Amino acid sequence: MDGVTILIIDSSEIFRAGIYQKLSSQPGIKILECSPDQEPIKMIDSHYVDIVFLDIDHPSAGGLKIAKDIIRYYPGIHVVIFSSYFNDDELFDAIKVGASAYIDKKISTEELLSVTRKVYQGEDVINASLLSRPSVAERVLKQFKEMASLEQSIHKASAPLTIREIQILRYIANGYTNKEAAVTLGISDQTIKNHVTAILRKLNANDRAHAVAIAISNHWVALDEMVIAHNT
């Protein structure tokens, strides 16, 4: 690790001194400290930082909030979260915010050097923690499934109609009868009626006019020059 800069964000002077003692003698490592009277984000703004060592119980804003802000606004910085009460709930929260590692404050010098080296090289050490904690892995998997389900629901809500249904609804919105839309699209009247029935069901609309109003308000269809062409 040549030229790596580590910022320690912890309210405990004793802990900051302990980390400094463990790592400062290592070649190529520069240690910066953020005391309680300093704002972490301003500290990062003022210095080039590769890795942040962060206390999860930081009193100013809470370690997880600080971690989230750092990862959001400084994606090139790796965040290592330290805890005095190493547990599954904190590990889960650390994974959620995107931390690169979650480690016990009682970590040995050799282990800390190993984690630092891996994080600096871009490894997500925190993922390895899941192997020894299946309950946390299960929670992470469950949340990913819930997120995927939510995204799918949002997609369905924003675009519940097929391309053909939107096309037919666009003709209806511009004043076409079922028969005229059928002739224009080269399909049968019955097929148009089947599509209209499906549209009303999907949009929970009372009638064609209601379906058109829903579609226009959601920007799925638009009134355009088609209505002019139809009325000339």
Q: Is the pLDDT of residue 8 over 90?
A: yes
Give the pLDDT mean for 93-110: 87
Residue 158 resides in a domain: no
In angstroms, the first-to-last Cα distance of the chain is 75
Q: How far apart are CA 172 and CA 181, in angstroms?
A: 8
Q: Amino acid identity, residue 111?
A: E
Asked if 100 contacts 126 with a C-beta cutoff of 8 angstroms, the reply is yes
The pLDDT-based confidence of 79 (bands split at 50, 70, 90) is very high
Q: How far apart are CA 23 and CA 79, in angstroms?
A: 17
CATH code of the domain in which 223 resides: 1.10.10.10
171 and 125, same structural domain?
A: no
Mean pLDDT, the chain, as a whole number? 80
Q: 123 lies in which domain range?
A: 4-136
Residue 152 resides in a domain: no
167 and 132, same structural domain?
A: no
Q: Percent of the chain having pLDDT more than 90?
A: 12
Q: What is the pLDDT of residues 17-75, one digit of tens each?
A: 999 888 888 888 999 998 878 888 888 888 889 999 999 887 666 788 899 888 888 88
116 and 167, same structural domain?
A: no
Q: Is the pLDDT of residue 203 over 70?
A: yes
Q: Is the pLDDT of residue 228 over 70?
A: no
* Matching residue, tokens 């009303």: 200
Quick one: how far is CA 139 from the chain centroid? 16
Asked if 77 contacts 51 with a C-beta cutoff of 8 angstroms, the reply is yes
Asked if 61 contacts 81 with a C-beta cutoff of 8 angstroms, the reply is no
Domain count, the chain: 2
Sign of CA dihedral 188, 192, 197, 201: positive
pTM score? 0.58
131 and 167, same structural domain?
A: no
Residue 199 resides in a domain: yes
Q: Give the pLDDT confidence score for residue 40 in this predicted structure.
A: 86
